[in-house]
Amino acid sequence: MSEPAQNLPQLLVQAKRWFEDALLAGMQAAGERPVTAAQAAVFATLDDEGTSISELARRIGVTRQTAHQAVHSLIGMGLLEQAPDPASARSSLVRVTAEGARAHQRALATIAVIEGVLAERIGTAATTALREALTAPWGEPPLVEAPVVEAP
């Protein structure tokens, strides 16, 4: 029995996992402290001036509690810090430390190497087309009518 064809969301998740696995393995092999995919996502979504935990959670698509755990573990590793939010006395911002900035720059350089490997494997034209498709304006998610499907 053959497996059903994977839909586009499944393929995108697999592609994301491929990049994450390569990045995390490469960073760990280089002697960097291991981080989880959720912790890496925090770095990918931080603003230079700092970001609130609730905003990080929204950007990553996780609960505030999950974002809070990822942030505080990264604070414990010395990669992030919390500072008062100048716009609100009741909240704080998460910012990258000098060590966190160094590790993040190394991660970005590693991603560039991984993208080069991908281009070698699937071709430069396919890699360029993939980037163009993913950065094209898709607009708001559509509200579509779900088709009626009969029970098997």
Mean pLDDT along residues 99-117: 95
Task: Please give the structure tokens belonging to residue 138.
Answer: 């898709």
Mean pLDDT for all residues in the chain:
93
* Residue of 87 and 108 predicted with greater confidence: 108
Q: 84 pairs with which residues across the strands?
A: 92
pLDDT category of residue 138 using cuts at 50, 70 and 90: very high
pLDDT category of residue 122 using cuts at 50, 70 and 90: very high
pLDDT of residue 148: 94
Q: Output the CA–CA distances (angstroms, integers) from residue 26 to 2, 98, 108, 137, in the order listed.
A: 34, 21, 12, 31
Phi-psi region of 31 (alpha: psi -120 to 50; beta: other; left: phi over 0): left
DSSP-derived secondary structure for the chain: -PPPPPPHHHHHHHHHHHHHHHHHHHHHHTTPPP--HHHHHHHHH--TT-B-HHHHHHHHTS-HHHHHHHHHHHHHTTSEEEEEETTEEEEEEEEE-HHHHHHHHHHHHHHHHHHHHHHHHH-HHHHHHHHHHHHS---SPP--PPPP----
pLDDT digits (tens, 9 = 90+) for 68-100: 999 999 999 999 999 998 888 788 999 999 999
